[in-house]
Copies of this chain bind each other. A is one copy, B any other.
Amino acid sequence: MSEGGQDATVGDLVVATRQGAPRAVARLISLVENGAPSLREVMAALAPDTGRARVVGLTGPPGVGKSTTTSALVRAYRARGERVGVLAVDPSSPFSGGALLGDRVRMNEHALDDGVYIRSMASRGHLGGLSGTTPQALRVLDAAGCDVVIVETVGVGQSEVEVAGLADTTVVLLAPGMGDGIQAAKAGILEIGDVYVVNKADRDGADSAVRDLKYMLRLGSAAGGGGGGTDSADAPGVAVAVAWSPPVLRTIAPEGTGIGELVQALDDHARWLASSGEDVRRRERRAAEEIEAIALTVLRGRMVGVQAGGVDVLARAVAAGELDPFSAADRLVAGLTG
């Protein structure tokens, strides 16, 4: 009986989400964040409505103007009548409540627009990071009818690699004169961007930032590191799609300068994805990572219950030097699968 009531509620939320009702969307994303058991049911119900939204990842070091750029992009997409979702993922804290949402406030201009869904999420916990819950929040926004979903995250550590794994198109945002920050980020950043943007292009050093970036991208592609299109010639007789060369654009986001060009570049990339078949590949890769992340979470949950006292007993033996960690892991796995 109570199950019926529960079902009705989740069913109602699913129906309302399909119709794009903001409150239902928000509640479903909360279910995702909390890992609610009803999530399985929700995702099964939403599955047929997904796979339509374009996912744009936007990443870069702290202070480059990601929030302002996202806001300008939202404005541009809204001007063409598209529905837009924004997931702002904060990888700097494992705690949901600890996410630093101060500059979310700048997004307030969109707060009353019911064609825009904005959500901040902490990427909590050790396992999964960005990839743990974000794909499912994406599904909710996708099913709600968003044409575009922007996933914005601070480009630090693995989060930038993870956001690229989630997105159809990844935008890497930089700003002039960031010195160490850019240096530190470069190694990872050069491999993931489909579009590069030097924001704050009115500042000193913008020219050299653009020049350096172009130079490094050229070096990278010459070394065979870059270019998502190089492996797209898999059907004999089909015209080989030209490899995508990531453009380097300039913006001054607060005044909207260069945002039109950025939207254009994103459209170009979407067309390239479709013509090269890379769109399907990226979506399948994303689905594979999502499935694996869920499967690992399921298995991890089971580990806690395994054996008398679960992992704790094994950990005690390993900490005492009585058992090596591989043998302990074998016993854990055997307990799950035996």
A299:B157 contact, CB within 8 angstroms: no
- The smallest beta-carbon distance between A181 and chain B, in angstroms, is 6
Given A94-B188, A161-B94, decide whether A321 and B288 contact each other with a Cβ distance below 8 A.
Answer: no
B333:A298 contact, CB within 8 angstroms: yes
The number of times this chain is found in the oligomer is 2
Provide the main secondary structure of the chain A interface. helix
Given A93-B188, A158-B94, A187-B93, decide whether A62 and B294 contact each other with a Cβ distance below 8 A.
Answer: no
Given A154-B184, A184-B62, decide whether A312 and B288 contact each other with a Cβ distance below 8 A.
Answer: yes
B290:A320 contact, CB within 8 angstroms: no
B184:A100 contact, CB within 8 angstroms: yes
A92:B319 contact, CB within 8 angstroms: no
Q: Which residues in B have their C-beta under 8 angstroms from that of A136?
A: 325
CB closest residue in chain B, given A92: B188
- From 83 to 124 in chain A, residues with beta carbon under 8 angstroms from any chain B beta carbon are 90-95, 98-100, 123
Segment of A43-51, A68-76, A233-241, A248-256 engaged in the interface with chain B: A43-51
A326 contacts the other chain (CB 8 A): yes
- From 282 to 323 in chain A, residues with beta carbon under 8 angstroms from any chain B beta carbon are 283-292, 294-296, 298-300, 303, 311-312, 314-316, 318-323
A3 contacts the other chain (CB 8 A): no
Q: Which residues in B have their C-beta under 8 angstroms from that of A91?
A: 157-158
A92:B185 contact, CB within 8 angstroms: yes
* A100 vs B185: C-alpha distance when bound (angstroms): 10
* A127 vs B158: C-alpha distance when bound (angstroms): 10
Chain A residues touching B, range: 35 or more
B187:A320 contact, CB within 8 angstroms: no
CB closest residue in chain B, given A286: B319
* A302 vs B162: C-alpha distance when bound (angstroms): 22
A206 contacts the other chain (CB 8 A): no
* A157 vs B314: C-alpha distance when bound (angstroms): 29
A23 contacts the other chain (CB 8 A): no
* A324 vs B159: C-alpha distance when bound (angstroms): 25
- From 33 to 59 in chain A, residues with beta carbon under 8 angstroms from any chain B beta carbon are 39-40, 43-44, 46-51
A126 contacts the other chain (CB 8 A): yes
Greatest chain B CB density within 10 A among A91, A292, A322 is at A292
Given contacts A62-B180, A291-B325, 11 further A-B contacts (CB under 8 A): A43-B324, A47-B322, A47-B324, A92-B156, A95-B191, A126-B165, A284-B319, A295-B329, A295-B333, A296-B299, A298-B333
Which residues of A approach B to under 8 Å, CB–CB?
39-40, 43-44, 46-51, 62-63, 90-95, 98-100, 123, 126-127, 129, 131, 135-136, 139, 154, 156-159, 161-162, 165, 179-181, 183-188, 191, 280, 283-292, 294-296, 298-300, 303, 311-312, 314-316, 318-330, 332-333, 336-337
- CB-defined A-B contacts under 8 Å, sample of 15: A47-B321, A48-B321, A63-B184, A93-B187, A127-B127, A127-B296, A158-B159, A287-B314, A287-B316, A287-B325, A290-B325, A291-B329, A295-B303, A295-B333, A298-B333
